Every structure is written in C-alpha cells, then in structure tokens.
C-alpha cells in the first residue's frame, strides 16, 4: 500500500473531490445495509400474516426508493472519482514529458525510445487505475465489510457471525502470497512490454531498410520471439490474477455452509427466526463484493506500485545538463579556450585542446574526416554536454550563466539528419515562429532554395510530409530544415553537413543567399564539400579531436595537408563530372 503514500501529494491536492466521492460511497454502503434488513423484516411479516389474510406491502416502497437512490449515487461517485484519477494521469504525463525535455544527449544515449513510450503510456495507465479503482475498491470494500460485520454481529446474531468468519483468515493469507507473486510477474510484464514497444518502434522506422535488404523473414522471426516472450509474461500475470477468484469462492462457500448449518440449529432451538437467517444469508452474500474488492485492490495496487516504481525511477534521474542559469543572451561573441572533452571518464578524448573565436557576423568553417569531433564541438557549444568551467564562453560568460532555453534559442541548428514532424510543410518551417506570416515563411523557403519545389506539390505549403518527412527526398528535407533555421531569427546559424543531400548547384545557390541574409548573423558551417567553406573567415580542420590545420580557404588549399589534398581531389572529381 506504499503506492498511496507516494501519491499522497495528489490526494491532498484533490482532498475535497475525494471527500465527496467517499461521502457518496458511505451513503451507498449504508443504503445497501438496509436492504437485507428490510427483506428479512418483510419475510417475517409474510410468515406472520394469517392464512387468507391481507398483506399491506411491507417495506416494498422503501426498497424501490432505495434502489433509485443507489443508482444515482453510484453514477455520481464514478464520475467524481474516475474523473479525478484521470487528472493524475495527465499530471504524471506532463511531469514525465518535462523531464524528457530537460534531459541531454547522455540520457538519450542510454534509454531506448520504446521503453520511454511504454513508461509514458502503459505504466501511467496502471498508476491512474490505482488512484481511481484502487481508492474505490479499497474504501468501498473496507466500509462494506465493516458495516456488514456490524449488522451480522449486532443486529442478527454474534455467534452465527463468528462461525461464518472462520474461513476468512485463510483467505487473507492466500491473498498475501498471491499479491507478492503478482507484483513480480507484473513488473516483469512491464519490462517485456517496453522491449516489445522498442522493437515495434524500430520495426516501423526501419521497415524500408528491412525490405531493401530482404530481411523480412529474419526480422519477423526476431519480432515474433519478442512478442512471444511478452505474451508469456502477460500469461503469468493473468494466471496469478486468476488465483483470487477461486480463493474467494471456496472461502465464501465454506462460510455459507457453516452459516446454514449453524443457523438451522439456532432456528431449531428457537434462538433465531427464518427472517433473521434470510437477512444474515443476504449479508453474507454482500461480503462477496468486499472479498472481490480486496482481491482487486491488491491486484491493481501491485500493478500500480510496479508501474510507479518504473516511472519514479525515470523522474528521479538527474538532469544530464542542469539548468542553473538565470540570464538571457545579449552578446554572441563565442570563445573556446583549450577545450578538451570525453564522453565518459576513461574513454579517449573526442576533443583535445581546441581553441577558437567567433564574433557576430563572422563565418567559421569546420572540416575534417569522419569521427574527428565536428558534431561533438557544435553540441558542446549548445551545451548538450557539460564541459569544464571556462572552456567555452558566450558574450564573456560561461554557458551555464544562461538559461538553457535562452542559450539554445541563440542557435539555429540544422543537423545532417534533418528531422521533420508529421505536419504540413508550413508548420515544419514555422516551428520556431508559429505565427510567422506567409510572406516570411516563403522568403525563408526561397533562401533555402525549396520554394519552387513546394509550389509543385498539389497542396503547396499545406502538404503533409508524413512521419519524419517520409514523402520528401533527402535534399528536400534538408532544405526545409534550413528554411526553418533561417526563419528562427537566431543570432548563430549552425549547418552540420546540412547540404550533403543536395547537388552542388543548389548548394552554391543556398550559400550565396546566406551571404546577403542577415549579415549580422554568425555562421558555423560543417561540410565535407570544401567549396562550401571557401568564404569562411576561418576554417578549422579537425583530426582525432585536435585542430590539425586552421586558416582561410586560399591558404589551406595550397598547403600539403588534409585540406589541400581533399580540395585537389574534389576539384578533379568535379572536372570529371563536367566532362561526362
């Protein structure tokens, strides 16, 4: 029951709502208690009527009125109680999402998307159910149980009540062992569901690659094995849950047998009336619900407890990048001083003793072979990872001096693998400025050389791009992402090999547009096509995380280094293509 302690903050916040639901449950329980008593009185009244005499109807009108009241009250507490529990699900999902948005790259490097989705959906549903049906079954079951016992002991016959309760301790012991098993099995089923969810997400995202490589059968078998494993885990949960009902029925059957036997003996000795035994039997029948309620309570509480543990463990994960800054960015002079960085302690350094300065309006080019640390550098500039104090400053202050949102809003970042949302082209371009006028969106598209392509679509800017932009080519996705960055009005533009999927002519068109667009904007351009860096104020050539060469294009292209050799090769390659 520790789950209810952990959720105490929510129950206190909605104390009035829960109090109203509990009050209605109390009235329902009291009305339920009156029904067997009135029926017993009616039976004794019928038996007391002389043969051929008239019966005045007894308590029949009262029973009808009680039935109507029970219907209305049961509807009312369901609306109040379950409506409140749904708010808990909303709050938990909001907190979970907020935690995800505050996490950095280190967090997502160690957590799978499918597992996070499972925790945000399936696990929170289990906690939500515990806060709704758990409260219902717990309070209503205990209240009904106590009131029934009071009627059986006080109103009917305490001796008969003691005899009827003989099997109940054995039922409690059985419930204890079943609930322990259920907690373990349900936690395992949640883990297996996360694995299945992750496999499903990967299967959908990678379906085109699977088909292209002819691995449909292999991947289908692999997915089937994961699904079978999850099914077996769910089967264990269902089999454990199924143990509750037989225990309840066996115990209540024994209680009924003891009641009828001992009750008949009391009637034979004129110590109990037939009406009283009828009422007692009806009260005993009302104990079916509390027993089911206790079993159901243990079931959903163990489910909710296992799920809450998984959710809480994620909510307690410390921010991989702590947002401790207070200031906004007003100066975008960027200085990197002897920057060294390793992703994990003990691992080789991804960057080593790197220094640079980028003033507003300047363009920095970054080149180098794959794995040399280019993307790592720009991610450190945006504080996706933590660095040693003083190694990176913006406007003369360390990066943690600024609010994370303010810092990252200073960068318009376009990665090589451009991500588009399942929305229209217009909504994707206007992501950072949702209320942007159509003219501004079209101008950004023209600068990114994608405007004409968009107009060729039947629905123009309202064309839906599909999941992750699946309906577009790689070059179109990149240019839409560039248009989105240009519309954001951020003071620093970062193109991380963002022109790799477009042809050379289109690339030069975009770069020419960037020369005249917002001259006060700083630019960091990472590219394997060295022609893209020709106009940069400074070019860094990285190799194994170190700055192997630096200078302007005219100087580097004449030297016998990586840059010069690569420039010669690309020039020869371009001439061959022209001749063809």
- As a dihedral over the C-alpha atoms of residue 279, residue 281, residue 287, residue 291, rounded to 10 degrees, the angle is 180
Strand order in the sheet with 397-398: 351-358, 334-341, 392-394, 397-398
Give, in degrees to the nearest 5, the angle at Cα 536 between 439 and 507. 50
- The CA distance from 339 to 23, in Å, is 65
Strand order in the sheet with 492-496: 411-414, 492-496, 522-526, 363-367, 538-543, 546-551
Look at residue 492 in the predicted model and tell me its pLDDT: 92
Name all domains of the chain by residue range, CATH numbers in brackets: 2-49+59-315 (1.20.1560.10), 327-410+492-515+522-580 (3.40.50.300), 412-489 (3.40.50.300)
Alpha-carbon torsion 501, 506, 508, 513, what sign? Answer: negative
- The CA distance from 402 to 546, in Å, is 28
- Would you list the DSSP string of 385-446? S---TTSEEETTEEGGGB-HHHHHHTEEEE-SS----SSBHHHHHTSS-TT--HHHHHHHHH
* Phi, psi (deg, nearest 5) at residue 294: -65, -40
Look at residue 129 in the predicted model and tell me its pLDDT: 79
- The CA distance from 57 to 390, in Å, is 91
Cα→Cα distances 441→42, 125, 337, 416, Å: 80, 40, 38, 22
Look at residue 336 in the predicted model and tell me its pLDDT: 92
| Beta-bridge mates of residue 549 | 541
Q: 246-258: b or e for each residue (b if 16 or more CB lie within 10 Å)?
A: ebbeebbebbbeb
- The CA distance from 480 to 499, in Å, is 11
Look at residue 44 in the predicted model and tell me its pLDDT: 66
User: Which region holds residue 357: left if phi is over 0, alpha if psi is between -120 and 50, else beta?
Assistant: beta
Look at residue 218 in the predicted model and tell me its pLDDT: 81
Cα→Cα distances 15→74, 142, 308, Å: 19, 19, 21
| Beta-bridge mates of residue 413 | 494
Q: Which residues of the chain have pLDDT under 50?
A: none
Look at residue 54 in the predicted model and tell me its pLDDT: 55
Look at residue 541 in the predicted model and tell me its pLDDT: 92
Look at residue 458 in the predicted model and tell me its pLDDT: 85
Cα→Cα distances 465→421, 423, 515, 542, Å: 8, 6, 29, 36
The residues near 86 (Cβ < 8 Å, ≥ 6 apart) are: 128, 132
How many beta carbons lie within 10 A of that of residue 169, not counting itself?
A: 10
- Please choose, from the candidates 382, 390, 375, the residue with its C-alpha nearest in 3D space to the C-alpha of residue 490: 382
SS3 labels along 188-234: HHHHHHHHHHHHHHHHHHCHHHHHHCCCHHHHHHHHHHHHHHHHHHH
Q: 450-487: b or e for each residue (b if 16 or more CB lie within 10 Å)?
A: bbebbeebeeebebebeeebeebeebbbbbbbbbbbbb
- The CA distance from 153 to 144, in Å, is 14
How many beta carbons lie within 10 A of that of residue 186, not counting itself?
A: 25
- The CA distance from 180 to 538, in Å, is 66
The DSSP secondary-structure symbol of 468 reads G
Q: Which residue has the tokens 């954001």?
A: 488
- The CA distance from 175 to 292, in Å, is 11
- Number of C-alpha atoms within 13 angstroms, CB side, residue 549? 23
């Amino acid at each position: 029951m520790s789950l209810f302690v952990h959720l105490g903050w929510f129950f206190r916040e909605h104390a009035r709502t829960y109090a109203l639901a509990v009050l209605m449950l109390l009235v329902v329980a009291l009305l339920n208690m009156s029904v067997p008593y009135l029926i017993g009185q009616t039976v004794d009244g019928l038996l007391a009527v002389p043969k051929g005499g008239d019966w005045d109807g007894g308590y029949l009108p009262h029973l009808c009125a009680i039935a109507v009241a029970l219907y209305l009250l049961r509807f009312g507490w369901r609306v109040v109680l379950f409506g409140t529990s749904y708010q808990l699900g909303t709050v938990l999902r909001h907190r979970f999402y907020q935690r995800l948005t505050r996490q950095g790259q280190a967090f997502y490097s160690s957590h799978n998307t499918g597992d996070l989705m499972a925790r945000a959906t399936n696990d929170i549903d289990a906690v939500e159910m515990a806060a709704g049906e758990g409260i219902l079954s717990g309070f209503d079951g205990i209240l009904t149980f106590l009131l029934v016992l009071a009627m059986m002991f006080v109103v009917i016959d305490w001796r008969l009540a003691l005899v009827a309760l003989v099997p109940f301790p054995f039922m409690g012991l059985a419930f204890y062992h079943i609930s322990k098993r259920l907690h373990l099995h349900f936690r395992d089923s949640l883990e297996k569901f996360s694995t299945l969810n992750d496999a499903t997400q990967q299967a959908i995202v990678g379906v085109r690659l699977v088909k292209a490589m002819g691995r449909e059968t292999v991947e289908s078998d692999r997915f089937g094995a994961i699904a079978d494993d999850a099914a077996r885990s769910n089967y264990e949960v269902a089999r454990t849950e199924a143990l509750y009902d037989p225990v309840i029925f066996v115990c209540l059957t024994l209680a009924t047998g003891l009641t009828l036997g001992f009750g008949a003996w009391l009637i034979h000795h004129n110590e109990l009336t037939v009406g009283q035994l009828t009422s007692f039997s009806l009260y005993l029948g009302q104990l079916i619900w509390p027993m089911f309620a206790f079993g159901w309570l243990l079931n959903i509480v163990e489910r909710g407890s296992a799920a809450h543990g998984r959710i809480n463990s994620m909510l307690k994960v410390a921010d991989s990048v702590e947002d401790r800054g207070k200031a906004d960015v007003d100066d975008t002079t960027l200085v990197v001083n002897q920057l060294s960085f390793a992703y994990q302690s003990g691992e080789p350094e991804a960057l080593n003793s790197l220094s640079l300065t980028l003033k507003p309006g300047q363009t920095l080019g970054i080149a180098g072979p794959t794995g040399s640390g280019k993307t790592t550098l720009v991610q450190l500039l945006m504080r996706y990872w933590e660095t040693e104090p003083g190694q990176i400053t913006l406007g003369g202050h360390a990066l943690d001096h600024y609010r994370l949102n303010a810092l990252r809003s200073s960068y318009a970042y376009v990665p090589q693998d451009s991500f588009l949302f399942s929305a229209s082209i217009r909504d994707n371009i206007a992501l950072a400025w949702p209320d942007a006028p159509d003219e501004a969106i079209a101008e950004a598209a023209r600068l990114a050389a994608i405007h004409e392509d968009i107009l060729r679509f039947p629905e123009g800017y309202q064309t839906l791009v599909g999941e992750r932009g699946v309906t577009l080519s790689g070059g179109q996705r990149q240019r839409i992402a560039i248009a989105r960055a240009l519309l954001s009005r951020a003071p620093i533009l970062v193109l991380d090999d963002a022109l790799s999927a477009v042809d050379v002519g289109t690339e030069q068109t975009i770069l020419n547009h960037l020369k005249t667009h917002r001259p006060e904007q700083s630019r960091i351009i990472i590219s394997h096509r060295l022609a893209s860096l020709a106009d940069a104020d400074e070019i860094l050539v990285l190799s194994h995380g170190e700055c192997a060469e630096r200078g302007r294009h005219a100087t580097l292209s004449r030297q016998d280094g990586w840059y010069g050799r690569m420039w010669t090769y690309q020039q020869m390659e371009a001439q061959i293509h022209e001749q063809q």
